[in-house]
Homo-oligomer: A and B are copies of this chain.
Amino acid sequence: MTPAKTSGKEKKARLDFGLLPNLVGYHLRMAQIAIFRDFAQGPGRHEVTPGLFGVLVIIEANPDLKQSDLARATHLDRSTVVTVIDNLERRGLVERRAALNDRRSNAIRLTAEGAALLRKLKREVNQHEKRLLQNFSDAERGQFFELLQKVFPEHR
Contacts and interface: CB of A to CB of B under 8 A. Distances in A.
Interface of A: 8, 11-12, 15-20, 23-35, 37-39, 50-51, 54, 57-58, 60-62, 65, 69, 72-73, 75, 122, 125, 128-129, 131-133, 135-136, 140-141, 143-145, 147-153, 155-156
A28 B147 CA distance: 10
Given A12-B72, A24-B129, 16 more contacts: A20-B57, A23-B125, A23-B129, A25-B35, A25-B50, A28-B31, A29-B51, A31-B152, A33-B155, A35-B152, A37-B152, A131-B152, A132-B151, A140-B147, A143-B147, A144-B147
Contacts of A30: 75, 148, 156
Contact of A11 (B51, B69, B145): B69
A65 B11 CA distance: 12
Contacts of A152: 31, 34-35, 37-38, 131-132
Nearest to A63: B16
Contacts of A31: 28, 148-149, 151-152
Nearest to A146: B140
A156 B17 contact: no
14 contacts: A15-B65, A15-B69, A15-B73, A18-B61, A19-B122, A23-B125, A23-B129, A25-B125, A28-B28, A30-B75, A30-B156, A33-B155, A34-B151, A144-B147
